[in-house]
Amino acid sequence: MKKILTLGALLVLFLLLLVPSQAEIQGFVKGQGYQYVYFGEYPYEKDGTVQPVLWRVLSVRDSKALLLTEYIIDTDQVIFVTDQKTIENHSYRRIETFEESDLFPKLSSEYVDRLLGGDPIRNALAPQANGATLFLLNDEDYLNADYGFETSRWAEWPSRIKTHEAQGTPYAIKQRGLYVAHENDKSPYWVATVKSPTDYKLQIVGFNGHLSYGAYTRVNIGLRPAVCLDLTQVEISGGQGTKQSPYQLRYIGSAAASALPAASETVGALVPNPTETMPVQAAASDSQTLADDDAAAPQPTAVALSADSTETPLYSDAPDETIAPVNTAVPLNESNFALLYTLAPNPTALQATPAPMPTAEPSPEPTAKTADQSTVTVSFIGDCSIGDSEQYTTAKSSYHTCLKNNGFAWPFSLVKDYLAADDLTVANLEVVFTTRTRHTDKKFNLKGDPSFVQVLNEGSIEMVNTVNNHCMDFMDGGYTDSLAVLDSAGIGHFGTINPGLANPHDDLGLVDVDGILFGFIGWSYPQEYDLRNISNRILQLRSQGAEVVVVSLHWGRETYMTPESWQSTFARNVIDAGADIVWGHHPHVIQPIAVYRGKLIMFSTGNFTFGTMSDVNPATGIFQVTFEKTANGPELKELKVIPCTTQKSPDFRPKELTEQKDRMNVFKYLTFKKAPYMLENPPASFLETGIIQFENGQMVQ
């Protein structure tokens, strides 16, 4: 027995000598190779099943690690061109730098969201000089011996193949069409270097490991992105750092947070995040090619200007309107903190409606407002694209033709009685009213003639959210035109876009609705660090007397009938920051309603009237929220959903559903099968009535 104990002790001592007392991430070391880490998750299997992402550690400098994905995880392109004649003539737009490409903003928005979702470790991503948090290495990086790469661009040798070649994941190959060279099962992937301003090629790493150039109309070039990780904000929670047993990382927060300016230096005190961040639980279906925002057959699309453009776009869109949360705010750090939080608000109050513009037919008389003076009812409706993508404006089935033939009162004519009888109707305006023709380089650019604003007046729409993935379709000029048109028609508006950048718009809505002061905040594609921005604006509205604050979020996965798990966490945090209602849109379909601490969360109110729209689930509704005036301020009393269905081109009119089975189907869509963590489902009676009642700040079961 004594001999066995001695051998055991020696074995333990030997293992202790082999394993360092404290693991430490290090970059490439010649003769030792690379370390590897796990964090984030992405579709890996060919059916879209997600797995943790494996990263190769290239270098560590100043407590920041440069990491490269070990595998090609997805595919994309830099400019969307399908016309073969255009491709052959090389007549499409040239770009001088990779930052001008449509792929550049998508990396730090769409792809980082899919990689990290609500995982707090995304806060440890150090932005590059160009603002990117997820990026592509350039050719100098791939020729850097310090990163373990060979310094020759063309030589063929085993080390070249070993360091530069990469294989795609089964998902990238089977689901995304990644090209695979059969002789070695490797694939090409992007390098962020443009050949020349007058040429049409972008650098790629070929399947043979060479650095060369390829035309950027290819749709199957792989993405092998990189990040710069602040190691002071993470710790190793497991693993050995090998490829077989990578380090596992855990976010621990930033010591630099205490160095930020005090709340008194900004408009108001910041509201902390009081709840935990839940990781995204991605389902296999998340990885499938998603339906297009406005038409079928999605294709990657560019979001950049033509070569002769003088206006720089600061807002970008998703590939053909698939899910692409876009970063509309610069990352929060000590240097830009004051800039982000001292933007002057522009509270928007409702103005008197001017004389109506000419209509194609007389408008019906609006229904009188409710006579109950003790309550206020606000109706929320979903996506309203009162116009078309520019290429369809003259089509016989277009929204433009519909209004020409039927008049401005037509789109809301079947539901106007409801909208006129409430005290305020709020819509998501997913179009710009402009006559400009220069637009972003993407497939669908939504516009309506400025006269179309009268549709809102005729439909009794008094307030609109203006920020979404189409608000910058015609650049900043088109967005500014649209705001001016709304102002001239007396339509209130709100929305924050490009805060801290060259052309910011930071409009907060503040309107007295029959004795209750409502505040509105509009935000597009919220990111993790946007919570502070939104919290600050809630405080701005409260300081101006807002009694009820509505936060409008353009977010979520298009055509999916349920939200992602990170959205539940974000919605809770927004309510904890002081919001009374979270109102979502963008998926173009309705999603469930939930209640958190007596506050409403409407994840998506779906489409309502939409030009240039493909086949999606037509269920929609009018979401009427009623507050009672009390001595202690407004008190939420009821949510009532009037179930409706959208109608396709060339009608475009939403109409109420009257058959009980059809109504109950809508109510079923608005209920979770299992409510997310800390959220409550509507009561069982909602499935028949579409009504949620509240007493003393609590939902009545």
Looking at the predicted structure, is the pLDDT value of residue 315 above 80? Answer: no
pLDDT of residue 159: 44
Distance from the first to the final alpha carbon of the chain: 67
pTM exceeding 0.75:
no
Higher pLDDT, 476 or 308: 476
CA distance 221 to 223: 7
Higher pLDDT, 274 or 419: 419
Q: How confident is the model at residue 526 (pLDDT cuts 50, 70, 90)?
A: confident
Q: How confident is the model at residue 279 (pLDDT cuts 50, 70, 90)?
A: very low
Per-residue pLDDT averaged across 604-616, rounded?
85
Per-residue pLDDT averaged across 258-281, rounded?
30
Strands 516-524 and 548-554: parallel
Looking at the predicted structure, is the pLDDT value of residue 321 above 70? Answer: no
Q: How confident is the model at residue 189 (pLDDT cuts 50, 70, 90)?
A: very high
Q: Are 173 and 186 in contact (CB under 8 A)?
A: no
Q: How confident is the model at residue 547 (pLDDT cuts 50, 70, 90)?
A: very high
pLDDT single digits (tens) 481-514 = 999 999 999 999 999 998 877 778 999 999 999 9
pLDDT single digits (tens) 221-268 = 999 999 999 999 999 988 899 999 999 998 998 643 333 333 222 222
Share of the chain above pLDDT 70, in %: 77
pLDDT single digits (tens) 445-456 = 899 999 999 999
For residue 311, with 0-12 CB atoms within 10 Å meaning exposed, 13-18 middle and 19 or more buried, which class applies?
A: exposed
pLDDT of residue 613: 65
Looking at the predicted structure, is the pLDDT value of residue 398 above 90? Answer: yes
Looking at the predicted structure, is the pLDDT value of residue 280 above 80? Answer: no
CA distance 97 to 197: 8
Higher pLDDT, 379 or 48: 379
Determine the Cα angle at 431 with ends 430 and 435, to 5°: 170
| Residue type, position 233, single letter | Q
Per-residue pLDDT averaged across 660-685, rounded?
95
Higher pLDDT, 665 or 163: 665
Per-residue pLDDT averaged across 107-114, rounded?
90
Q: How confident is the model at residue 298 (pLDDT cuts 50, 70, 90)?
A: very low
CA distance 549 to 640: 19
Share of the chain above pLDDT 90, in %: 52
CA distance 274 to 187: 45
Give the number of C-alpha atoms closer than 13 A to the C-alpha of residue 144, restricted to the C-beta side. Answer: 14
Per-residue pLDDT averaged across 262-287, rounded?
30
Higher pLDDT, 677 or 209: 677
- Name which of 426, 425, 418 is nearest 368 in CA terms: 418
Looking at the predicted structure, is the pLDDT value of residue 15 above 50? Answer: no
Per-residue pLDDT averaged across 168-191, rounded?
87
pLDDT of residue 254: 61
Looking at the predicted structure, is the pLDDT value of residue 284 above 60? Answer: no
Higher pLDDT, 312 or 204: 204
CA distances from 396 to 400, 646, 650 (A): 9, 19, 8
Looking at the predicted structure, is the pLDDT value of residue 645 above 90? Answer: yes
Q: Are 218 and 101 in contact (CB under 8 A)?
A: no
pLDDT single digits (tens) 25-39 = 999 998 899 999 999
pLDDT of residue 616: 85
pLDDT of residue 438: 86
Looking at the predicted structure, is the pLDDT value of residue 333 above 90? Answer: no
Looking at the predicted structure, is the pLDDT value of residue 5 above 60? Answer: no
Per-residue pLDDT averaged across 161-183, rounded?
84
* Residue 560 tokens, joined: 């999916």
Per-residue pLDDT averaged across 557-563, rounded?
90
Q: How confident is the model at residue 679 (pLDDT cuts 50, 70, 90)?
A: very high
Q: Count other C-beta atoms under 10 Å from residue 54's C-beta.
A: 19
pLDDT single digits (tens) 61-80 = 999 999 999 999 999 988 87
Q: What mean pLDDT, rounded, does the chain reach? A: 79
| Residue type, position 92, single letter | Y
Q: Are 622 and 381 in contact (CB under 8 A)?
A: yes
What is the per-residue DSSP string for 297-365? S---------TT--SPP-----GGGSS-----SPPP-TTTHHHHH-PPP--B------SPPP-SSPPPP
Looking at the predicted structure, is the pLDDT value of residue 169 above 80? Answer: yes
Q: Which helix (H) or strand (E) holds 40?
A: strand 35-43
Per-residue pLDDT averaged across 610-636, rounded?
91
Give the residues across from 497 on adjacent strands. 505
Q: Spell out a b/e string for 603-631, using b for 16 or more CB atoms within 10 Å of the CB, else e.
A: bbbbbbbbbbbbebbbbbbbbbbbbbbee
Go through the domains of the chain in sequence order and give each one's CATH number: 22-227 (no CATH), 373-699 (3.60.21.10)
